[in-house]
Amino acid sequence: MDSRLDAEYLMVQSSGMAMPALGKQLMTLGGTLLVIGAILYYGSPSRGGLPGDIAIERPGFSFHFPVVTCLVFSLIFSGVLRWLNR
C-alpha cells in the first residue's frame, strides 16, 4: 500500500500546475531573448543606434553609451515580465 501512495504522490508532483507555467515563462523568455539578439545582430547600436544615444569619438578615444537603447530594452523587458506575472 505504501508503494501505491508513493506512485500517486509522484504522479501529482510531476503533473503539478507550476511546471506548465514555468515552461510558458521559459519559452517566452527564450523568444524575447531571440528577438533582442536578432535586433542587436542585424540592427547593431554600433551602426548608429537610436537617436539620443551618446557617442563621443576623438583621436585615440571613443565612448559609446546607448541611453535610449537601454530605456527601450528596459520597457520591453518590464512589459514582458509584467505580462508573465498576470
Q: Residues 28-72: pLDDT tens digits?
A: 888 888 887 877 777 655 555 677 788 888 999 988 888 888 888
Closest of 66, 61, 36, 64 to residue 51, by C-alpha: 66
pLDDT the model gives residue 5:
53
**Which residue has better confidence, 61 or 18?**
61
Domain locations in the chain? 23-84
| 82 pLDDT above the threshold of 70 | yes
| 1 pLDDT above the threshold of 60 | no
pLDDT the model gives residue 42:
74
